[in-house]
Copies of this chain bind each other. A is one copy, B any other.
């Protein structure tokens, strides 16, 4: 690759001038010189070395994104939002999957420190257990989390408790009393909140909560299938199941089918997230919509604002919405 030196030589100017042209700096450069340089740059197909630039300007125009798993459509959609916004702002996005493993989270944070990422967007799970003060202080100036976190970082959030409450209330309104919950991983704050909403709604409706009404999954359809199967094989089979995400809901619906139960005929099902396919699944899935794409763009915008010393709201909230579809179509006759 050619360097500014090469360009300068060929255009018979100094490196300084080339730099001025590239960044069209306030220091004026003569029109004909500028054009000569520009032409040379084009001829040589010169591109400035971002490493050298970053080294000296202390800005890399790079943000790191840490998520549990890109093959989960929920995160994929968030990432899409982040990227689109990043593209607009001239930022590049480095993506890292953690599978919610603490050591990978830490490792990735260090990587972003080494690469001098201008910002870090963190979603899913909790960072804890390793926090040298220096790292944390430094991070707090450039990190945004999507969702809830123990440490008080700037955040983009959704009211998961409220969303879950909406879902359960909907089921109760349909006459359901035996409602089960398919929980997410222990480390997922979203799932913790959704469980909380589930409990709240039951309490509000005077329905007693029992531990056996909750099974844990890991947000995959497989785990939803497994959990669904266990729940549906209980002697007092639930009439409705609420899953902590759509993927598990799909798995549970499949389990119902394998057990000869139809949804919504024999069983109502509600998911969470509203991933793209939930309106195409058969039956179409009643679910709580999370504006994933917007979470992504909002987080990225926050990073940009932080980096440019703009003022910005430290917290931004999004409201979930209940989308009623076919999977909760049947009313239940009161017993």
A residues with a Cβ closer than 8 A to B are 1, 44-45, 47-52, 54-55, 60, 62, 69-71, 73, 76-77, 79-80, 83-84, 87, 92-97, 104, 110-111, 113-116, 132, 134-135, 138, 220-221, 225, 247, 250-251, 253-254, 257, 276-277, 280-283
Contact = CB atoms under 8 A, between A and B. Distances in A.
Contacts of A73: 71, 73, 76
Nearest to A256: B282
Nearest to A60: B51
B70 A76 contact: yes
A251 B282 CA distance: 11
Contacts of A253: 280, 282
A71 B276 contact: yes
A225 B277 CA distance: 12
A281 B47 CA distance: 48
Classify the interface of chain A: helix, strand, loop or mixed: helix
A281 B278 CA distance: 10
Given A45-B135, A92-B96, A92-B111, 6 more contacts: A49-B114, A51-B51, A51-B115, A80-B97, A253-B280, A257-B282
A54 B135 CA distance: 22
B47 A55 contact: no
**Which 5 residue pairs of A and B lie closest in terms of their CB atoms, listed nearest first?**
A282-B282, A50-B114, A51-B55, A45-B134, A50-B115
A277 B277 contact: yes
Nearest to A65: B95
Contacts of A83: 70, 95-97
Contacts of A52: 51, 55
Given A71-B73, A76-B71, A250 B47 contact: no
A221 B280 contact: yes
B93 A51 contact: no
